């Protein structure tokens, strides 16, 4: 059976058509909200990887259309970012760009700075790279996008802010959750009922944002950057310790002890998975590969 006829049988596909949502994905964000109340107390939000725009439509309806007066509407700021352009949505400003690039992060920050160094209460990211069909590779590439989304969130989220991002369910999820806990009080992996059971996607829902003391936000693209060099550029000791962990799962530098207890211990298996995914990444910089191999070998062997 072709994809189209299968889609047409789907209740959320039909409901999306009837209700004017651009994609059935709209229901995923609404179901996440039903469970976690992510729109509560939110006036400013960023929608990363937003095209064709169904999540932005939800944000518009929940945050903008629901406000009664012009003044209230004026205070709402929703920024949608994607590689692709999309049709306009009321109350939503669009920015075309690659979220893994520093210039895009700068443009996002500038957009909120215009009104006096404003921060946002919510960052969502439904980004998906081109799927190769090799599960570990796809999961790894998805994680790279999340790291970029998370690094943008470290610039623009206000304390206590929320972060929602699509993930591919896999064995490295425990590590991902732990990385998130470096910046958030709570973190949960959730599969909304509108996400097809056959799909490996799920969503990481994080609340209670707080920047670790001494950490200087940086845009990270683990597939492109030399992480240690990048961290060194800030002059922050905390970045030097945390960035390799955030980007690649490296625990060598150590991190906040209290949060480490919450994360639990990492198994040799978790390190093996991180190592395998790194090795599978054809873009991984050669000069960094040797250092990472030594580090992972030490961790896997418990040295
Ligand atoms: C599943 S779609 C998002 C659907 C959207 N949430 C909606 O409800 O309409 C994934 C999007 O991620 C975008 N994307 C992938 N990599 C990106 C990147 N590096 N920067 C910006 N957008 C990206 C793609 O262009 C695509 O539009």
Could you give the CA distance from residue 51 to residue 114 in angstroms, rounded to a whole number?
Answer: 24
**Closest ligand 1 atom, CA of 25?**
8
What counts of helices (H) and strands (E) characterise the chain? 13, 7
pLDDT at 21: 97
Q: How far apart are CA 13 and CA 213, in angstroms?
A: 45
What separation in Å is there between the alpha carbon of 263 and the centre of ligand 1?
30
pLDDT digits (tens, 9 = 90+) for 176-186: 888 899 999 99
Q: What is the pLDDT of residue 254?
A: 42
Q: Is the pLDDT of residue 7 over 60?
A: no
Q: How far apart are the first and last CA of the chain?
A: 52
Q: CA 246, 252, 257, 262 torsion: positive or negative?
A: positive
Q: Does the structure show a pLDDT above 80 at 107?
A: yes
- Encode pLDDT of 59-73 as tens digits: 999 999 999 999 999
Helices assigned H by DSSP within 164-285: 173-181, 227-234, 237-248, 257-263, 268-280
| pLDDT, average across residues 181-194 | 94
User: pLDDT tier at 265 (50, 70, 90 boundaries)?
Assistant: very low
Kindly state if the Cβ of 51 falls inside 6 Å of ligand 1: yes
Cβ neighbours, 10 Å, residue 69: 8
**pLDDT given at position 261:** 31
- CB of 224 closer than 6 A to ligand 1? no
Average pLDDT, integer, range 145-173: 91
Residue whose CA lies nearest to ligand 1 atom number 27:
51
Average pLDDT over residues 177-200: 91
Query: Which atom of ligand 1 lies nearest, measured to the CA of 86?
Result: 27
Longest dimension (CA), the chain: 62
More reliable by pLDDT, 300 or 202: 202
pLDDT value at residue 137: 73
- Ligand 1 atom closest to residue 127's alpha carbon, by position in its atom list: 12
Query: Over 70: is that where the pLDDT of 82 sits?
Result: yes
Pocket perturbation via mutation, ligand 1, pick of 32, 50, 56, 59 by most ligand atoms within 8 A of CB? 50
Whether the predicted pLDDT of 255 surpasses 50: no
Residue pair 193/31 in contact (Cβ under 8 Å)? The answer is: yes
**Average pLDDT across the chain, whole number:** 83
Atom of ligand 1 nearest to the CA of 148: 19
Say whether pLDDT at 291 is over 90.
no
CA of 262 relative to ligand 1 center, distance in Å: 32
> What pLDDT is recorded for position 262?
32
- The confidence band for 290, taking pLDDT boundaries of 50, 70 and 90, is low
Is residue 50's pLDDT more than 90?
yes
For ligand 1, say whether the CB of 165 is within 6 Å of any of its atoms.
no
Q: What is the mean pLDDT of residues 119-133?
A: 89
**Ligand 1 centroid vs 47 CA: distance in angstroms?**
10
The mean-pLDDT minimum among 6-20, 84-98, 139-153, 253-267 falls in 253-267
Show which residues are catalytic. 166
- Overall pTM surpassing 0.85 (yes/no): no
Report how far residue 127's alpha carbon sits from residue 148's, in angstroms, rounded to the nearest whole number. Answer: 10
**Residue bearing the bigger pLDDT, 3 or 120:** 120
User: Which one is predicted more confidently, 277 or 34?
Assistant: 34
Span from the CA of 50 to the centroid of ligand 1 (angstroms): 5
- Which residues are known binding-site members? 53, 55, 82, 98, 126
Q: Which CATH superfamily does the domain covering 3-214 fall into? A: Vaccinia Virus protein VP39 (3.40.50.150)
Q: What percent of the chain has pLDDT over 70?
A: 79
Which of 82-96, 239-253, 283-297 has the highest mean predicted lDDT (pLDDT)? 82-96
Half-sphere exposure of 281 (CA within 13 A, CB side): 25
């Amino acid at each position: 059976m072709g994809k189209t006829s299968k889609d047409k049988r789907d209740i959320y596909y039909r409901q999306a058509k009837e209700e004017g949502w651009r994609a059935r994905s709209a229901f995923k964000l609404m179901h996440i909200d039903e469970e976690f109340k992510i729109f509560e107390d939110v006036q400013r939000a960023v929608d990363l990887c937003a095209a064709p725009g169904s999540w932005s439509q939800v944000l518009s309806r929940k945050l903008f259309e629901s406000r009664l007066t012009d003044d209230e509407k004026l205070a709402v700021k929703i920024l949608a970012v994607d590689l692709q352009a999309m049709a306009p949505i009321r109350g939503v400003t669009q920015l075309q760009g690659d979220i893994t690039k520093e210039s895009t992060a700068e443009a996002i920050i500038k957009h909120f700075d215009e009104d006096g160094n404003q921060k946002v209460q919510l960052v969502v990211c439904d980004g998906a790279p081109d799927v190769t069909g090799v599960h570990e590779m796809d999961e790894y590439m998805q994680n790279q996008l999340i790291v970029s989304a998370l690094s943008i969130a470290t610039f623009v989220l206000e304390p206590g802010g929320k972060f929602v991002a699509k993930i591919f369910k896999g064995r490295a999820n425990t590590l991902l959750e732990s990385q998130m806990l470096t910046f958030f009080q709570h973190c949960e992996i959730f599969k909304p009922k509108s996400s097809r059971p056959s799909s490996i996607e799920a969503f990481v829902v994080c609340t209670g944002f707080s920047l670790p003391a001494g950490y200087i936000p940086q845009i990270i693209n683990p597939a492109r950057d030399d992480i240690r060099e990048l961290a060194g550029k800030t002059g922050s000791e905390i970045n030097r310790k945390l960035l390799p962990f955030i980007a690649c799962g490296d625990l060598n530098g150590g991190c906040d002890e209290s949060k480490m207890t919450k994360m639990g211990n990492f198994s040799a298996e978790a390190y093996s998975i991180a190592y395998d995914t790194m090795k599978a990444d054809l873009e991984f910089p050669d000069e960094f590969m040797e250092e990472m191999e030594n580090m992972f070998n030490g961790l896997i062997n418990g040295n």
